[in-house]
Amino acid sequence: MIIGSNRSVVFKKLAELKKNIVNQCPICHGDDPGCRCHVLMLMYEATAAANVPAKFWQAKVTDFGVGQEHNPVVQDLKEKWSKLIFQVKDTIQNIPLIIVSGANGTGKTMLASILLKAAAMQGISAQYILFNQLISLHYSREDNREEVLERLHACDLLVIDEFGKEYTKTNQLGEIDTTSAIANYAKFVAESTLKTRSDAALTTVIVTNDSVDELKAKYGGPGRSVDSILDATTTVILYHAGIDFRKVQF
């Protein structure tokens, strides 16, 4: 399920991959549906259907932290994430919530995308969405709104990126106004999504710049389930220190 305005990018990339992988296959030249080229193409189509960002379709865990191979934090993250991916079916059966928290450019979305891709390629229902897109979807008037929300709430693995980076207003002191209508919309969507998926024992990955305490301050409070859901998190990966990998020159 491709969400957002990147449909043209996705379809263009799929067409390029089909040309390079299937049509130019040195073994079958695209004529044998059982050839590895067709199997590989099906995997990319599953990745696209999961809405994985196109720039991470071919990413691997070994791509994470290039230039920081001797950094123990990076090595520890690679080992932990490799285990989650290698045992992806166990991951979605046993870990209800994974929080990937860190500074901008530290590779959070890449790691989440690699996990999502591994799940999709094994036939696991998986979806990626930005938190802003999820908020917009809740208040959309599109005819298929309910159907899309149902698929997001019911998929085995849901990655919500940029959690906590929704548009916010500030008060006169320059602090985020947690009582504004926008903040209340975000609280409702966070509560609705996390509670629905938690009650159904479905795995959610939150990708965020915030710590658990900061997430609680934004989305928790009296009468909400977010606090207890975040407290029950079994895997929290925090890495706020380090290099901005987006600025590394390859």
Same domain for 209 and 130: yes
pLDDT of residue 184: 83
Domain containing 227: what range? 59-247
Is 80 part of a structural domain of the chain?
Answer: yes
Helix (H, G, I), strand (E, B) or coil at 102: strand
Q: Distance between CA 167 and CA 180 in Å, rounded?
A: 11
Helix (H, G, I), strand (E, B) or coil at 174: coil
pLDDT of residue 153: 92
**What element of type H or E holds 206?**
strand 203-208
Same domain for 235 and 112: yes
Residue 123 Ramachandran class (φ > 0 left, ψ -120 to 50 alpha, else beta): left
pTM metric for this prediction? 0.85
**Number of folded domains that form the chain:** 2
76, 152, 135: which is closest to 111 by C-alpha? 76
What are 56-86's pLDDT values in tens digits? Answer: 998 998 888 777 778 787 888 888 889 889 9
Q: How would residue 241 be classed by pLDDT, with cut points 50, 70 and 90?
A: very low
pLDDT at 171 over 80: no
Same domain for 158 and 75: yes
Same domain for 95 and 2: no
What are 141-164's pLDDT values in tens digits? Answer: 777 888 889 999 999 999 999 998
Residue 164: exposure state from Cβ atoms within 10 A (0-12, 13-18, ≥19):
buried
Same domain for 35 and 126: no
